[in-house]
Amino acid sequence: MNYGHFSRDGREYIIDNVATPSPWINYIHNGRYFATISNNGGGISYFKSPLHGRITRYRINDVPPDRPGKYIYVKDRDTGELWSLTWQPVGRGVESYRVAHGFGYTRAEAEVEGIASSLLYLVPADDDREVWRARLTNANGHSRRLSIVGYVEFALGHALVDLINQCDDQHFNRVHFDRARNSLFATKTYWVTETRGTQHQENKEWDQWAFFTVNAPVAAYETLRERFIGPYRNESSPLSLEAPRLGSRDTDFGNAVGALQVEIDLAAGETRDLIFSLGVIPKVSFEADRDARLAKFQDSASVDLALAEIGRRWDDFLNRTRAETPDSRANIFLNGWSPYQAKVAFDVGRVASYYYWGIGRGFGYRDTAQDTIAIVIADPAKARERIGLLARQMRTDGRVYHHFYGDGQGEFTEHCDDPLWFILAVDEYVKETGDFGILDEKEIFLDAERGTILDHLLAVVRFADGNTGRHSLPIFGRGDWNDTLDYIGGKDGGESVWGGMFYAAMLDRLIALLEAAGRNDRISEVRSIRDRFRNAVETHGWDGEWYIRAFGENDRRIGSRENTYGQIFINTQSWAVIAGLPDRARLLSAMDSAKLLLDGPFGPKICAPAFREIDPKIGLITRCVWGKKENGAVFNHPTAWLIQAECLLGRGARAWDYYTKLLPDRVDSDIYAAEPYVYSQYITSEEHEGGGRASHSWQTGTAAWMYRVAYDHILGVQPTYAGLKIDPAIPSSWLSFRVERVFRGCRYFIEFQNPDGKESGVSKIVVDGRPSEGNVLPIINNRIGRVKVRM
């Protein structure tokens, strides 16, 4: 069954059956203030960090799964009828609701009991609050007397401490209503800033006041969950809403909530806007800023302006690339939802969703480094900032925090791949911007004085050079890109064949970068390290028809035909191509084996067959149920590399086949379950009885990679130091397609013609009316460049 569809222009996903198989959410945020909002009003809010700056609660493992949220209750004061402006929590008349998720906003529409409503949720670009604007229209013929109650449940500070030490933590909550200011304020007089649950009691308070206010006189309010909801009830039927008015009591203790009751009368046909705001004001400037902040968003025009500004910013972000392919379904993702998802993942840092609760981990090093590749096109300054942050998580020996919080806290692990992702981030930044100057800019190492970005890159080279095992391949440590290959080789560490390919590919990028920058002194050294890894893969990694995945203890081959489970892994086939290994016959065989042995009804699997026996010498992957997660699911992120590799081999039809197969708007949502407008981390494979079900939506590197692989390698418009390289790989059935791409200040309009039905290659390029040599477009010092490409 289908629960929704894209709007005509593809910019909204409209859910017209809101009883979706899982919460289908959106993110509204401005880079500091973050909120999630589900199709049923569920979601959390935090300031800067979901761990340290949690404003509202998420009730983990609750049923239903998306509570609490940002709810607006409506009660008819004459009949006593109660409903909510989103279907949940009251849950009346599911067919009355319709929700649109757009770029940076969500709108819930309903008509219940003769009241038409449109509830808009957004976070203004330059104000740290979320706005809920409820537009209510009396759609029946007589006047109505309504009570409107906005409701949130607070966490107030450290989300993990709130969860595991609630019995004590609640003694530090303070919630009061300021009648003169018509606003409710909440904070905590105790705050933990460490990343773990700890006995260490810090001697400080949360540095924020949360406020909750509305642009109409508050008739009554509530501050304590027990009083609002009542015993043995939940948000569906709060006891306090059965009385004409809330109890209007402050609290200095307990499960803190904010409930604001407004009473309005609506004449027949009359429309009224109520604007609720939930936000934070830093304590350092609370007295000075409070009244000015509260005065904002009191009228609808200011909300409209904020919405227009959000739209303008997203347009600006999204319109740097544009694709018109013959496939309208793909165009929706290429022109909106993939870069949108990638930007959200970049900003959120992959830590807050209904799958990641924002209490366990900081920003992942490798994830964060990869996230930069999608946003560098539209926002190179943000990418530069993130590169600085990544540099600051590195020691002079090249080791990096596996995950970090940006405040000096992080955790070292023995993953062999993490540091090398830094090269990707820097290289893509320079290719996009031509800013070689970044190499000389300084950032502090974790263990020493400042060093240039080049010093950091060379530290990574030292790490790679030193992290070598018996077969001259990278020592596996506690994992490589695949976190669940964590016990390969026991104490010896085993060796990663994929790691060898990855190191070679990243060092190859660095060599090209150093060459382009004219920094020749270290190139031959880096080249010889790269060649060592390439040769090691070629000498030891070939299995006859594909590349093995790893060496375990005693030279045991993993990812080989000689194994019962995990005979073939996706990453060592695609990365053999990406790493530029020399033997084309092997590459073709490896990629054909991937097609034959990994591709299934739901897409290509991460490995096959899935492990069905626990193998402590391999690790977590073998402990996981078969067909899910890294144990043989269609793990979306590496499928992007498979597509890239098919393009590099010039096999455009197969690349496109994979690309469209993996798009998230699957036909049957009752099976797929997750949001159809964003990628999930994985889709359960046919090896599991629940095949086809997706999980871990939103916070995955898939969006960034699918976006870049589609533009760079399928459509073939790829940034290089010298300019945009044109190198498409498409289905031969495409007769023409168009790409727009902003690059170094110029908007290139590129028209591809494919009259001979080719899959790849370019025979002629004309730039601004003049034939162009080679396939790298000149950098045009003009605002517009018109390019015609004949394949």
How close are the terminal C-alpha atoms of the chain, in Å? 41
Note whether 103 and 340 are within 8 A (CB): yes
CA atoms of 714 and 717, how far apart (whole Å) = 8
- Report the candidate in 706, 751, 669, 741 with the shortest Cα–Cα distance to residue 24: 669
Q: Per-residue DSSP letters for 138-193?
A: E-SSS-EEEEEEEEEEEEEE-HHHHHHSHHHHGGGEEEEEEGGGTEEEEEES----
Which 3 state secondary structure label does DSSP give 221? Answer: strand
Per DSSP bridges, beta strands 784-790 and 746-753 are parallel
Give min distance, CB of 343 to ligand GLC, in A: 17
Residue closer to ligand GLC by CB (options 190, 481) is 481
CA atoms of 704 and 511, how far apart (whole Å) = 24
Give min distance, CB of 182 to ligand GLC, in A: 44
Crossing angle of helices 636-648 and 702-709, in 10° steps, is 20
CB-based contacts of 676, cutoff 8 Å, min separation 6: 4, 13, 664, 665, 666, 669
Tell me which residues touch ligand GLC (CB under 6 A). 364, 366-367, 481-484, 630, 637, 681, 700
Residue closer to ligand GLC by CB (options 606, 715) is 606
Cα angle 535, 536, 540; round to 5: 120
CA atoms of 41 and 86, how far apart (whole Å) = 6
Residue closer to ligand GLC by CB (options 513, 624) is 624
Give min distance, CB of 682 to ligand GLC, in A: 8
Residue closer to ligand GLC by CB (options 83, 641) is 641
Give min distance, CB of 502 to ligand GLC, in A: 11
- Other residues' Cβ atoms within 10 Å of the Cβ of residue 130: 26
Give min distance, CB of 418 to ligand GLC, in A: 9
Residue closer to ligand GLC by CB (options 2, 413) is 413
Residue closer to ligand GLC by CB (options 165, 413) is 413
Q: Taking CB positions, which residue lies at the least distance from ligand GLC?
A: 483
Q: Which H/E stretch holds residue 292?
A: helix 286-294
**401: Cα within 13 Å, side-chain hemisphere:** 22
Residue closer to ligand GLC by CB (options 169, 483) is 483
Residue closer to ligand GLC by CB (options 606, 717) is 606
Give min distance, CB of 556 to ligand GLC, in A: 21
Residue closer to ligand GLC by CB (options 355, 749) is 355
Note whether 642 and 750 are within 8 A (CB): no
Residue closer to ligand GLC by CB (options 67, 350) is 350
Residue closer to ligand GLC by CB (options 26, 702) is 702
Give min distance, CB of 429 to ligand GLC, in A: 20
Residue closer to ligand GLC by CB (options 468, 700) is 700
Note whether 771 and 781 are within 8 A (CB): no
Residue closer to ligand GLC by CB (options 630, 646) is 630
Radius of gyration of the chain (CA): 27
CA atoms of 547 and 568, how far apart (whole Å) = 8
Amino acid at 68: P
Give min distance, CB of 403 to ligand GLC, in A: 9
CA atoms of 415 and 413, how far apart (whole Å) = 6
The H-assigned helical ranges of 319-379 are 328-332, 338-348, 365-375
Give min distance, CB of 399 to ligand GLC, in A: 17
Which 3 state secondary structure label does DSSP give 114? Answer: coil
Give min distance, CB of 393 to ligand GLC, in A: 15
Residue closer to ligand GLC by CB (options 549, 758) is 549
Note whether 519 and 525 are within 8 A (CB): no
Give min distance, CB of 637 to ligand GLC, in A: 6
Note whether 187 and 174 are within 8 A (CB): yes
Crossing angle of helices 636-648 and 584-598, in 10° steps, is 140
- Report the candidate in 317, 325, 364, 363 with the shortest Cα–Cα distance to residue 342: 317
Go through the chain and tell me how many residues it has: 791
Beta strands in 33-161 (DSSP E): 33-38, 45-47, 54-56, 71-76, 82-84, 97-102, 105-112, 115-122, 129-138, 144-157
- The CB-based long-range contact list for 611-615 (8 Å cut-off, 24+ gap) reads 611/565, 611/566, 612/565, 613/564, 613/565, 615/565
Give min distance, CB of 145 to ligand GLC, in A: 52
- Report the candidate in 244, 275, 315, 260 with the shortest Cα–Cα distance to residue 102: 315
- Report the candidate in 200, 5, 21 with the shortest Cα–Cα distance to residue 690: 21
Give min distance, CB of 367 to ligand GLC, in A: 5
Residue closer to ligand GLC by CB (options 151, 698) is 698
Give min distance, CB of 432 to ligand GLC, in A: 23
CA atoms of 762 and 706, how far apart (whole Å) = 23
Beta strands in 445-528 (DSSP E): 450-452, 495-496
Residue closer to ligand GLC by CB (options 41, 493) is 493
Give min distance, CB of 528 to ligand GLC, in A: 29
CA atoms of 206 and 181, how far apart (whole Å) = 22
Give min distance, CB of 478 to ligand GLC, in A: 11
CA atoms of 289 and 502, how far apart (whole Å) = 51
Residue closer to ligand GLC by CB (options 136, 485) is 485
Residue closer to ligand GLC by CB (options 272, 366) is 366
Give min distance, CB of 178 to ligand GLC, in A: 43
Give min distance, CB of 334 to ligand GLC, in A: 22
Note whether 724 and 716 are within 8 A (CB): no
